[in-house]
Each structure stands twice: as C-alpha cells, then as structure tokens.
Chains A and B, each alone.
Chain A
Amino acid sequence: NAGVTQTPKFRILKIGQSMTLQCTQDMNHNYMYWYRQDPGMGLKLIYYSVGAGITDKGEVPNGYNVSRSTTEDFPLRLELAAPSQTSVYFCASSYLAGAGEQYFGPGTRLTVT
C-alpha cells in the first residue's frame, strides 16, 4: 500500500493564480482531512470529508475549496492565491472518526509570491 500520496511536493505560485493540490489514499478510508502547517506551528484543519460526496469546513476554510467524488481522492483547490496561503499542506485519512489514527501524506510546500 502506498498509503496517502500528495502531489506536487513543492510549488511556487504568483498572487492571484489558482492551483489544485492532489491527495489520494489507497486504504479505503472514509474520513479524509486537509491541514495547513505554518513554520514551527501545529496543524490547522481546512476542510474534511466523512465520505464520498460529503465535505465540511474546518477552522480555516476561507480561500479554499474541496470536492470528494470518490473514496480515494480528496483534492484541495486554491482560488486567487494570496501570500497568507504560503504554508505546508498535509492531507490525512483515517478509518475511524475522532479517536481513529490519522495517516498523513508527505505534504506539499506552497509559496505564494
């Protein structure tokens, strides 16, 4: 099993550009999450999904959108990139909600200039 994979690993965007961060998991997990992590900080939840077709906002959803058309994929869309979105983005999945272990991808390091 590859676990959770994310692409790209690095990306530089200009202000106002858009992009999609890809996330795929092969563990058949229903729950998937997108977090951002600023330098030296913990993780902030952007969006999450409890199953295909169902998504919900986390703590910091502004400037982002998600979709969940399949169990495996949970892409994160950035529209009109801003410098405040410079961060490392992690996708995670879990079999159980709440107390379930979350498996994280390797992250995407995004810089907006």
Chain B
Amino acid sequence: TQLLEQSPQFLSIQEGENLTVYCNSSSVFSSLQWYRQEPGEGPVLLVTVVTGGEVKKLKRLTFQFGDARKDSSLHITAAQPGDTGLYLCAGGSGSRLTFGEGTQLTVNP
C-alpha cells in the first residue's frame, strides 16, 4: 500500500508570513499533484509535477517534486486570508491517485 504523509497537519499563521507544507512517501510516484479544498466543496487541482527535481510556480505558490519522486513541498510566500483551506497532495500511480491526509491552513488577517 502506498502512503503519503503530510506535515504539518494543522498550520495557523498571520497574513504576510511564509510557510512550507511537506508531502513524503517511501514509494515512488509517476506524478504528484496538489489540490486545495474549501469547506463544503470538492478539491480543486493547483498543480501537477511529473519530473524529479521539477519546480513549478503559481503566483505566490512554489511547488517542488523531489529528485527521487517520493516527496514534494508547497511553499507559500506572503500568505493571505484567501489562502485558507485544506491542502492535499496526491501521488499518481497507474490509473489511481493516493491522497495524503491534508494540511489545514488558516491565515489570520
């Protein structure tokens, strides 16, 4: 069974601070996706990374896929209250995705 561990599980910060969320596994994945989920809604894709060492930037969000394709990180610069939500990483293998447990981020004004 492939497992993805996310840390931290909960994160509460002030507006303007930087933060990093980690997603780790002992398994190799063909791709790694990050989703954001708001209360009462389904997850929405933020980014997909497929190459070991790949770095992608989406405005204030920076995503990195580990060289061995077993881990990933999400860094947010100058967090804003609108960044509040549940961040989920998901590893792709075959036809399926394996999701991590999520990081609940709260950005206080």
Which A residues are closer than 8 A to B by beta carbons? 4, 31, 33, 35, 40-45, 48, 50, 56, 58-59, 90, 92, 97-99, 101-102, 104-107
Contact = CB atoms under 8 A, between A and B. Distances in A.
Which range contains the number of B residues in contact with the other chain?
A: 20 to 34
B102 A107 contact: no
B31 A48 contact: no
Contacts of B100: 42
A42 B99 contact: yes
A104 B44 contact: yes
Contact of B88 (A33, A42, A98, A99): A42
A33 B94 CA distance: 13
Nearest to B97: A102
A41 B101 CA distance: 5
